[in-house]
Amino acid sequence: MTISFADFDRVEIRVGRIVRAEAFPEARKPAYKLRIDFGPEIGVKTSSAQLTTYYRTEDLEGRLVLAVVNFPPRQIGPFMSEVLTLGVPGPEGGVVLIAPERAVPIGGRLF
């Protein structure tokens, strides 16, 4: 399927910093509950992410990540996920986070 640049441009992918990560035992698949700060324009948002294969909660706090911030919130069990944290499948089947290779200001938009 081909999309236009205008379609892609409507997806807001922003840089955020994980400020809190905790276990999400109620999730069907192993996951963490994240609180991610996207700066003053967007604020702190929540996300459920299946990152348990490669990351511990203490490894996640303070990390920069990329997330889609303009999807509608999604109810995941008892938790409301407000953004989609981006990752790709790793060699063991878990999710590997997508992140900037250098420190950049939070809230910055991917373009």
Domains and CATH numbers, the chain: 12-97 (2.40.50.140)
Q: What is the band of 111 on the pLDDT scale with cuts at 50, 70, 90?
A: confident
Q: What is the mean pLDDT of residues 7-28?
A: 96
Q: Which amino acid is at 31?
A: A
Structure tokens at 22: 């905790």
Predicted confidence (pLDDT) at residue 63 exceeds the cutoff of 90 = yes
| Overall pTM surpassing 0.85 (yes/no) | yes
Residue 66's beta-bridge partner residues? 15
Rounded CA-CA distance 84/108 in Å is 16
Beta-carbon count within 10 A of 3 CB: 9
Q: Which of residues 82 and 111 earns the better pLDDT score? A: 82
The secondary structure of 48-72 as a DSSP string is: EE--TTT--HHHHTT-EEEEE-SSP
Task: Read off the pLDDT of residues 42-60 as tens digits, 9 standing for 90 and up.
Answer: 999 999 999 999 999 999 9
Place of tokens 């992918």: 13
Predicted confidence (pLDDT) at residue 93 exceeds the cutoff of 90 = no
Residues, the chain: 111
